[in-house]
Amino acid sequence: MKKTMLLLLGAMALTGCSNASQTGNQPDAGKLANRLFALTSVDGQAVTPREGMKPGISFGENLKVSGVMCNRFFGQGKLEQGRLFVPQLASTRMMCSDAQLNQWEQTLSAVLVQGAEVKLTEQTLTLTGSGHTLVYQAH
């Protein structure tokens, strides 16, 4: 009986430690709040601003997400286990003359709606999901 109790207590202690280390690595909404990021690459391909378009993403209070690719987009974000979801992403619907921006816009939409793993350093935001990686620099 004593051995069983010791094993049970040991297992509980290990579980507590592993959960604590996982949550410490996850980004929190406070670190994203009131920040603006400019898109620098999509799937390893450099992004250069075209005709005054500066693709980017910003985060407001309570994880309100907005930005521009070709069209403007916005929605309420949520962080769950290190993943950013914007399930009700809305956007304007203007036709963009740049086919690449149109493609990247569809990529970003898929990544945000289906959920993106978030990595945030002081100056870099990386969103990875749906087979794509978008890298942003703090602006």
| For residues 25-35, average pLDDT | 82
What is residue 26's predicted lDDT score, i.e. its pLDDT? 56
The reply to whether 20 falls in a domain is no
Specify the number of domains making up the chain.
Answer: 1
The reply to whether 19 falls in a domain is no
The reply to whether 56 falls in a domain is yes
Instruction: Look at strands 83-85 and 78-80 and give their pairing.
Output: antiparallel
Q: The domain spanning residue 41 has which CATH number?
A: 2.40.128.270
Mean pLDDT of the chain: 83
Q: How confident is the model at residue 7 (pLDDT cuts 50, 70, 90)?
A: very low
The reply to whether 12 falls in a domain is no
Q: How far is the C-alpha of 64 from the C-alpha of 73, rounded, in Å?
A: 11
The reply to whether 125 falls in a domain is yes
The reply to whether 42 falls in a domain is yes
Which range marks the domain in which residue 51 is found? 28-138
What is residue 5's predicted lDDT score, i.e. its pLDDT? 40
